[in-house]
Amino acid sequence: MALSLPTSTRLAPATLLRGQGALVALVVLVAFAAFRYEGFFTLYNASTFFRYNAMFMLIAIGMTMVILTGGIDLSVGSVAAMTSVIAALASPHGAGVGLLAGVAAGAAIGLLNGLVITRLRVEPFIATLGTFLGARGIAQLASGQAAVSVDSSGGFARLGQGDWLGLPVPVVLVIVVFLAGLFLLRSTRTGRSIYCVGDNEDAARLMGFGVDQVKVLVYTISGLLAGVAGVVLAAQFGAGQPVEGVGWELTAIAGVVVGGTLLTGGRGSLFDTMVGVTLLGLIFNILNFENGKGVISIDVFWQNVIRGVFLLVVVILQSNSTRRKGE
């Protein structure tokens, strides 16, 4: 009997190309920017780009795990603002205490999200909208509605401004978190359960996965990483920022979706999320270079329009692709 390859195998190259559309777009944009802008491939631009976007990468890693379960976390921007203030207030006691205070506060909000969603059966959108407002209020109350300067004498500022082995410290944090997340998702039963819960929650229960425990875990991780991002924010700018983080949750969601993770859950990867966040950041890096050339001038409001249109196009394409696979 003659054997024939399945259609999915025969079309693997085309499928791979569609699945890695964000990566292809990233490579094309990097090549374009390298050709057009003289200062693009410089250590200063690369360091500035990744040092700043590290905050969004940290939040997006946590958001990926939440979305993989079919959930959403709207609180991460406010949590980052809140933890930046808490970390700044704790910074006089040293970098370690400041980091621990910010991370613990973020994890506590994430844990609260998970418990409200699983124990009280509140929809993730509503639950995290509530903590979005609450965390923002805590940030304003704790800071007196003003930026809180950090105490740099204990080395806290190095968490945002320093370098380690030639790499910006925020980038080192992203690498450590990314590798830990990759191990969790790819090499552990918990990682398999995260995908299974997002793919089919009822099936996950029948297979013996602790669905509620998984949800509590991913929301706690999301809050914890928002806390790390808040610490980096305070250290990088030298102050806790109670009014920062506005729209960060949308940036994280955009990076996750652009990377190819399904909003309905069950499919996606951290690598693709990193590609998506980098791609979005690169678009605005290029726009800044373009403004510098004086050929066009695109202010921040139009940049937000571009971001929204780009995200909408990606979601439409993703939806059409999913619909075709279901037919």
Assigned token pair, 241: 């920022």
Q: Which residue has the higher pLDDT, 107 or 29?
A: 107
Residue 154 sits at φ, ψ, to 5 deg, of -95, 5
Per-residue model confidence as pLDDT tens digits over 276-314: 999 989 988 888 887 766 556 666 667 677 767 777 776
Per-residue model confidence as pLDDT tens digits over 97-125: 999 999 999 999 999 999 999 999 999 99
Q: Is the pLDDT of residue 187 over 80?
A: yes
The owner of tokens 């373009």 is 290
- The span from the CA of 64 to the CA of 24, in Å, is 21
- pLDDT band at residue 87 using 50, 70 and 90 as cut-offs: very high
Residue 163 sits at φ, ψ, to 5 deg, of -125, 155
Most confident of 47-51, 62-66, 205-209: 62-66
Q: Give this prediction's pTM.
A: 0.89
From 9-23, 54-68, 261-275, the region with the lowest mean pLDDT: 9-23
- The span from the CA of 220 to the CA of 217, in Å, is 5
Q: Is the pLDDT of residue 270 over 90?
A: yes
Mean pLDDT for the chain overall: 87
- The span from the CA of 184 to the CA of 214, in Å, is 12
Q: Is the pLDDT of residue 262 over 50?
A: yes
Residue 167 sits at φ, ψ, to 5 deg, of -110, 145
